[in-house]
């Protein structure tokens, strides 16, 4: 017997939803519903139907596209790679198809503290630099942060923290006695 094939046709609403998503791939269900004058449920069903028909929602961003390294107080994992920094803030690597799109994405972030924009990668080689304990010199997986005056210490364990405090107290007593 011959092979059976299934042909799925897109409905008018599905075609309109796809058209809006081509213009703005970050459009929310609410935005799409408002633009089309339909309910959010209708848009949600259209998206679900498109997925069931095999439509994959992806955005092609060239490898040499501009990117920004954004330091913020909140995680923005939905925008790109997101890393938690040792001081509790987050670094998000945001990529875009062009510079204007990148600037628009960055402008929408309300809690950004620092932004570094890179136009293109210089090297694809990733260098992994591990954090080392300020007391014992061992590797740190989950840092313990100790601040004293203007100095910040990164430690690997409670023992190193306790010993560092002892060392600093002893050092401080020696300074006072020398004066």
What's the pTM?
0.42
pLDDT tens for the 179 residues of the chain, in order: 444 444 458 888 988 998 888 877 778 899 999 999 999 999 999 999 888 887 777 665 566 678 889 999 988 888 888 898 888 899 998 888 788 888 888 888 888 899 988 866 666 665 556 788 889 988 888 888 888 888 888 889 999 999 999 998 888 777 667 66
pLDDT value, residue 2: 45
pLDDT at 19: 86
Fold of the 12-52 domain? Arc Repressor Mutant, subunit A (1.10.10)
Q: What integer pLDDT is reported at residue 32 of this predicted model?
A: 93
Sign of CA dihedral 39, 45, 47, 50: negative
Note the pLDDT of residue 5. 40
**Which residues is 151 bridged to in the sheet?**
148
List the chain domain ranges: 12-52, 67-118, 144-178
pLDDT at residue number 179? 63
């Amino acid at each position: 017997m011959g092979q059976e094939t299934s042909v799925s046709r897109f409905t008018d609403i599905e075609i309109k939803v796809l058209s809006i998503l081509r213009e703005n791939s970050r459009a929310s269900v609410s935005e799409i519903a408002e633009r089309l004058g339909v309910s959010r449920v209708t848009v949600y069903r259209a998206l679900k139907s498109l997925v069931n028909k095999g439509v994959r929602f992806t955005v092609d961003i060239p490898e040499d596209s501009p990117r920004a390294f954004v330091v913020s107080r909140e995680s923005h994992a939905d925008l790109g790679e997101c890393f938690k920094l040792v001081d509790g803030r987050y670094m998000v690597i945001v990529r875009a198809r062009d510079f204007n799109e990148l600037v628009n994405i960055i402008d929408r972030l309300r809690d950004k503290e620092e932004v570094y924009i890179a136009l293109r990668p210089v090297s694809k080689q990733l260098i992994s630099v591990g954090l080392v304990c300020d007391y014992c010199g061992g590797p740190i997986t989950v840092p313990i942060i100790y601040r004293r005056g203007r100095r910040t210490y990164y430690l690997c364990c409670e023992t190193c923290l306790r010993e560092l405090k002892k060392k600093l107290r002893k050092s401080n007593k020696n300074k006072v006695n020398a004066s």
